A and B are shown apart, each in its own frame.
Chain A
């Protein structure tokens, strides 16, 4: 079967660091994606991991462990504009389709 789990909601303070976890179970794996979605808007692409390790892109980093079926998105120096939902998605290698989690709603407080 296919299953992607992420926390429903998280809160953090402006300037802090927050880690959003994602665990997955898929019949085949060919990459993990993170998207950011502000309320009422479309998701925007943040990062892509296909090999184990950390990918850094400015204030955002994404980590993948394929053996553990685990990824996290790390947001540093949080800003108010980072308040959004963060979607974890896995590409199933058998179908080549993206399977999305339900998203983690992050609220950043001053």
Chain B
């Protein structure tokens, strides 16, 4: 069966500091991978998605970036965090155009 991992589970970072969130998927090959952000009381906002190694599409212009160095690894990064980057970050995977399955999420607080 497929499993998706995210770490860390929670993170408190000062404004201006860098960020690296990691997501890995087990039990499937060549998954579509997604990064979402969920701000308090708001819907899921798609940040990035990837259909293969090195292929990243950005949805929202911002100070975040994503990379996919391996087939089942997806990384979300920032060089300098803003207060507005606080939120619940969710990684998800899907097999082509089927339903998406979410990882446990990372709760980021920027102080």
Interface residues of A (CB under 8 A from B): 30-31, 33, 40-45, 48, 87, 89, 91, 96-98, 100-103
Contacts and interface: CB of A to CB of B under 8 A. Distances in A.
A44 B107 CA distance: 17
Interface residues of B, number: 17
A87 B44 CA distance: 9
Interface of A is mostly: loop
Given A91-B97, A96-B97, A102 B42 contact: yes
A42 B90 CA distance: 7
Contact of B44 (A45, A91, A100): A100
A45 B99 contact: yes
A43 B104 contact: no
Nearest to A98: B100
A43 B102 contact: yes
B43 interface: yes
Contacts of A48: 99
B97 A100 contact: no
B31 interface: no
Q: List 8 tightest A-B contacts by C-beta distance, closest first.
A: A42-B102, A102-B43, A100-B44, A100-B43, A42-B105, A45-B99, A43-B102, A42-B104
A98 B46 contact: yes
A97 B59 CA distance: 10
A93 B68 CA distance: 25
Given A101-B43, A103-B43, A45 B49 contact: no
B7 interface: no
A102 B101 CA distance: 18
Contacts of B43: 87, 100-103
Contacts of A43: 44, 90, 102
A103 B105 CA distance: 17
